Amino acid sequence: MTTNLTNIDFYFDFSSPYGYLAATQIEQFAGRFKRSVDWRPILLGAVFRVTGGRPLPQLPLKGDYAQRDMRRSARFLGVELNMPSQFPIATQVPCRAYYWTQGHNPGMARQLALALFKAYFVSNKDISSPEVTAEVAAGLGLERDQLLAGINDQAVKDRLRNEVDTAIKRGVFGSPYMVIDSEPFWGVDRFPQMERWLSQGPF
């Protein structure tokens, strides 16, 4: 008897520190439960236009706390995090680079996503720039000029728009946002609940 385990949907914005923290954990986490992960970078700015949300750092009191909590959560998880000098940034470019790579070199797409996150949240590289994103991709052996062309490909732009629209329809309002068998989990701090869900079933 075979069981077909559904993939974990992993929604995130490349400018989200908590999204970055989740990205460093999720593959190893999912592997423990024999699940695959569908990485789905989205544009939180587009989501916020629907939900009325705002980037954390702009919120009174909560913004100051968040700056502290992001750093502390990284240390708690043992993950290197250096808050970038430009924050937040627009993330159309890294999102499109991801979806283009997924279409043309699927085995490299997750590796690119993680490398882009690290370029931004460890090495302070502004991945909103096509040149910077292409440089990160080239570091993984992807073809720089093809990737730069891919970022401007209308099909790739449409794919990103579809992912964002679908995310909003599914109720995604933040980053990271994971969906396991239709059950939504928001935040890297929900991994303990996800762990129980995957190991013991729905609760």
The contact set with a second copy (CB under 8 A) reads: 50-53, 59-62, 64-65, 68-69, 72-73, 75-76, 168, 171-174, 184, 186-187, 189-190, 192-193, 196, 203
Give me the sheet containing 183-186, strands edge to edge: 37-41, 8-12, 177-180, 183-186
Chain centre distance of CA 17: 9
Minimum distance, C-beta of residue 94 to a second copy, in the bound complex (Å) = 24
Minimum distance, C-beta of residue 98 to a second copy, in the bound complex (Å) = 23
- Of 60 and 107, the one with the shorter C-beta distance to a second copy is 60
- Of 104 and 190, the one with the shorter C-beta distance to a second copy is 190
- Of 2 and 203, the one with the shorter C-beta distance to a second copy is 203
- Of 144 and 170, the one with the shorter C-beta distance to a second copy is 170
CA nearest to 22, candidates 170, 192, 199:
192
Minimum distance, C-beta of residue 69 to a second copy, in the bound complex (Å) = 7
Minimum distance, C-beta of residue 34 to a second copy, in the bound complex (Å) = 22
- Of 105 and 175, the one with the shorter C-beta distance to a second copy is 175
End-to-end CA distance of the chain: 25
User: CA torsion angle for 152, 127, 143, 108 (degrees, to 10)?
Assistant: -100
CA distance 176 to 166: 15
CA distance 69 to 121: 15
Minimum distance, C-beta of residue 23 to a second copy, in the bound complex (Å) = 19
State whether the Cα torsion 42-43-48-51 is positive or negative. Answer: negative
